[in-house]
Structure 1
Amino acid sequence: MNEKQPQTNSGEEPSASPELQGGHETEPRPTPRIYVASLSDYNNGVLHGQWMDAARDPADIYADINAMLAQSRQPDAEEFAIHDYDDFGVCRIGEYDSIDRVARIAQGIHEHGDAFAAWVYVSEGASERFDDFTEAYLGHYDSVIAYAEQLIDDLGYNHELDRLPESLRSYLRFDTDQLGRDLVFGGDIHVVPSPDGGVWLFDGRS
């Protein structure tokens, strides 16, 4: 089954809860952040780090990291780790994920909304698939059944039923429950539940 059960982010630093939007998530735009800490300080029992906007050019993030490390009281403060993150939706960020990868994900989430985070989850973090989001994304729906109902309507099948004699219409209906299950189990769509309700759907052939 292609239905994914993502885990929301958690970390050592307090963070605000992201607000997910339905539909195509045009507003407000998420603002993904990371908390980058000095490992030298951390290993010596000192918490020294900084929250940073992650939806930027990696070079700008590295500049902020280097400035943060330069302010450390530890003489050998050169290494860092991501100790927390915020507004990445259902996407999980690793402690030692590359800044380039984190920035790419953050920029996608800022541009497309939390649906992009769901796509990263479906793609299992494979960066070569990130650019396929626009083609793969089918939308946010209340349920897979709701998508199946819209699919039938968009294809004009309900109109075809209306053309049948009225005496036959009451005996015929589309089994949208079964259609939804077949789409999922057949790999035609990927399903990612949203923490705020509904599901994000992606074309399983992408």
Structure 2
Amino acid sequence: MCEQQQTEGQDAGAATAGAERDGPHIYVACLASYNAGILHGRWIDVTDPEEIRERVTAMLSESPEPDAEEWAIHDYEGFEGAEISEYAGFDQVCDLAAFIGEHGELAGKLVAHFCGDIGEARAAMEDYAGEYKSLEDFAYELTEQSGTKVPDDLANYIDYEAIGRDIALNGDVFTIETGFEEVHVFWAR
């Protein structure tokens, strides 16, 4: 899809935007051109809000439509599952990119879990219990950390899978999966 948005006024290499860029980036389109049936925009690396504003201003000044002032984010990459509104502010986009830079894929999925609320996602990171292969492993470790000594004779009868499932069903924790046997557990607030 990104390759279809190649237009005049783009930076060099924009045709392969996602393939060659590191970190999050956005495709900002000129709405005057878009409304006239012309695709004119630019892929911009998410660095800081002021730099993005300058790049958008430069893109709008090169628009084939006179007096172009309005823009929208028509595409984005590198946000690890978090969604960006087409009218998201650059401060918000940079804040999200910084959060993802700090916590990686987990951050993007956590923001998506909270429907785009980065404040809730940041708060959830304070209640991060860790990464486990499964909720069963989490329940086992939780039991071990509690100091409860399970006699060897009974150890095989404890269903840690059921305990983990119950902890989640009771709303005590929620999970974010980032891959096979990559279950991130968060204490619920």
Q: TM-score range by the shorter chain?
A: 0.7 to 0.9
* Structure 1: runs of 5+ lacking an equivalent: 1-11, 18-29
Verify: 1:187 aligned to 2:178, yes or no. Answer: no
Deviation at 1:190, TM superposition (A): 1.5
What TM-score results when the alignment is normalised by the length of structure 2?
0.79
* Among candidates 50, 56, 61, match of residue 52 of structure 2: 61
Residue 44 of structure 1 is matched in structure 2 by 36
Native 8 Å contact 2:25 2:44 kept in 1: yes
Cα gap change, 1:151 to 1:77, in 2 (>3 Å):
same
Residue 176 of structure 1 is matched in structure 2 by 160
Residue 126 of structure 2 aligns to a residue whose secondary structure is: helix
Residue 202 of structure 1 is matched in structure 2 by 186
Verify: 1:155 aligned to 2:134, yes or no. Answer: no
More off after superposition, 93-102 vs 133-142 = 133-142
Percentage identity across aligned positions? 35
What TM-score results when the alignment is normalised by the length of structure 1?
0.73
Cα gap change, 1:180 to 1:171, in 2 (>3 Å):
closer
Residue 20 of structure 1 is matched in structure 2 by none
* Among candidates 105, 112, 118, match of residue 109 of structure 2: 118
More off after superposition, 95-104 vs 107-116 = 95-104
Deviation at 1:172, TM superposition (A): 5.3
Deviation at 1:131, TM superposition (A): 3.4
Residue 179 of structure 1 aligns to a residue whose secondary structure is: helix
Question: 2 CA distance for matches of 1:52 and 1:171?
Answer: 56
Written as runs of structure 1 = structure 2, the 5 A alignment for 1:52-131 is 52-54=44-46, 56-131=47-122
Question: 2 CA distance for matches of 1:140 and 1:41?
Answer: 47
Q: Which amino acid aligns with 1:183?
A: I
Give the number of equivalent residue pairs: 173
Query: Aligned-residue CA RMSD in angstroms?
Result: 2.3
